[in-house]
A and B are shown apart, each in its own frame.
Chain A
């Protein structure tokens, strides 16, 4: 069944859209990430213009993260104080990201930056996660009890000025690393159409030393707020948010996420992280190949605006 997407100006199969939304939603429920890093490339590969794909996926990520964020909120596992700083700085970063998006699209380098950005980011995060989870699996095999990192180990940047007490996370640290993190995630997220959950979670754990119970909920709330702001920014600035495309993906994604979350109970944490790392690396390699392999057609074309009517 074909459905016409008014902003992308093409029609796609409804079941295909709900299907990939569902499949990615399943994985995002399984791993606790937004899934934007999978969905955006999938849409681009299936013919949706890159700008529409990036802008519309932000809407889908909001939906996918909302139900998770709500359940963590009910359990009191969100540090709202920390979120306030992250979200405000994140929105600042998102303004920069969307503006950069516009400049790059005009210069014809958007696809390159998206590919390169995904390659570097996913390659880096994927490798780190694979190493970390591999070690954890090996240690468990060897029978070593893995101890959680203590939350109150401080780094030099925790002692910078403007220290703030985050009661829920039991942290008394400078807001500078928090704000820098927020701006960076907002910038990258709006530029690449990803929520940034898979960067934020390790960053909160390893950089800010946030307790594990607070990390997922806070990260999810950050993703919801960031992606909501980015959706609006994209709608205003590039007008490339396709609400029908986003809705098809949302429906699939929300359903898939529920099944993914229940499937996740059968796997241990480090196994999940290893699988996610492999997935992330696979996407990174796919993007790397498009940069290195000679394109079948060196020429490409794009519309840059309507001319006069005939």
Chain B
């Protein structure tokens, strides 16, 4: 009897963590930017399944938080001050490995899903302090960091949507994320976290890419790899257009 109890006690903490797993899918592996690209909506969906061998039935309620992180960039944040009546950029801080796009979707208020410490550990909240370039003053970084996050929220690249995840059944959910037309091309990471009773019980990440294809891709590459030729073609095009305009409209 004592042995059985001991065995149960030992097994108990391990059981809930092993009971569920996430099966997730992004509606598209790659988003193509074509000439008429005006943004696109992606659907991320998934189900909560019992682990193979788990005997416990799935008991909710579950909460899902999805974060989507865009390609990392080095960014600079600047502040204008008034110098002799003229507004000019007087101070700036450089931040490295800063996401160009960051969205958090959840099915309930983050504060209801779990405690702030767990959120901070997974860097889910938007207000995480960005990483400044080495050598920047820590005080400036502390002032400019939140401002940079706010600017990114203002231009729509950072967003927290606490009703972005919808449960269709107890175990099936989907989330929709809108990529704006100026979403930076690159690789994106979608990270899904599953919570129950404030505990993180499973997580999964999946990647997708946003890239220009066809003619747009060709132009972008040409401008970087063959800049001289690209410039010459640009001038030729301009001269030709100007000449053609003169010919067509000559009276």
Contact = CB atoms under 8 A, between A and B. Distances in A.
B127 interface: no
Looking at chain B's contact residues, the main secondary structure is mixed
B239 A63 contact: yes
Contacts of B186: 306, 309
Interface string A291-310: 11111011111111111111
Nearest to B222: A243
Contacts of A233: 231
A301 B77 CA distance: 4
Interface in A219-259: 224, 228, 231-236, 239, 241, 243-244, 246-247, 250-251, 254-255, 257-258
Interface in A51-106: 59-60, 62-68, 70-71
A6 interface: yes
A263 interface: no
A109 B78 CA distance: 10
Nearest to A235: B231
A111 B86 CA distance: 13
Contacts of A63: 237-239, 241-242, 245
B89 A300 contact: yes
A108 interface: yes
Contacts of B46: none
Contacts, number: 214
B120 interface: no
A153 interface: no
Contact of B87 (A10, A71, A291): A291
A308 B97 contact: yes
Contact of B246 (A10, A70, A232, A234): A70
A120 interface: no
B246 A235 contact: no
Contacts of A64: 242
| From B86, B150, B189, B234, residue with most partner A Cβ within 10 Å | B234
Contacts of B100: 303
A67 B80 CA distance: 43
A241 B234 contact: yes
| From A1, A2, A7, A232, residue with most partner B Cβ within 10 Å | A232
Given A6-B212, A11-B181, A243-B233, A309 B75 contact: no
Nearest to B225: A239
Interface in B210-249: 212, 216-217, 219-220, 223-224, 227-228, 230-235, 237-239, 241-246, 249
Nearest to B242: A66
Contact of B235 (A71, A108, A231, A308): A231
B81 A301 contact: no
A310 B190 CA distance: 11
B227 A309 contact: no
B230 A251 contact: no
Contacts of A308: 72, 97
B123 interface: no
B27 interface: no
B238 A231 contact: yes
Contact of B89 (A112, A228, A293): A112
A277 B150 CA distance: 41
Interface in B45-94: 69, 71-82, 85-89, 92, 94
Interface residues of A, number: 65
Contacts of A297: 151, 154
Given A66-B242, A231-B238, A303 B223 contact: no
A63 B239 CA distance: 5
Given A231-B234, A291-B87, A309-B186, A302 B227 contact: no
Interface string A267-306: 0000000000000000000000011111101111111111
Given A9-B184, A67-B243, A59 B73 contact: no
Interface string A1-37: 1111011011100000000000000000000000000
A10 B239 CA distance: 26
A258 B249 contact: yes
Interface stretch (B35-43, B165-173, B196-204): B35-43
Contacts of B86: 116, 291-292
A20 B186 CA distance: 31
Given A2-B36, A111-B89, A243-B237, 13 more contacts: A4-B36, A66-B245, A231-B231, A241-B231, A243-B230, A251-B241, A298-B79, A299-B147, A301-B78, A301-B148, A303-B74, A305-B74, A308-B97
19 contacts: A1-B36, A4-B36, A11-B182, A59-B234, A62-B242, A66-B238, A236-B227, A241-B223, A243-B230, A244-B219, A250-B238, A292-B87, A293-B87, A297-B154, A299-B147, A304-B75, A308-B97, A309-B72, A310-B187
Interface of B: 33-38, 69, 71-82, 85-89, 92, 94, 96-98, 100, 144, 147-148, 150-152, 154, 181-182, 184-189, 207, 212, 216-217, 219-220, 223-224, 227-228, 230-235, 237-239, 241-246, 249
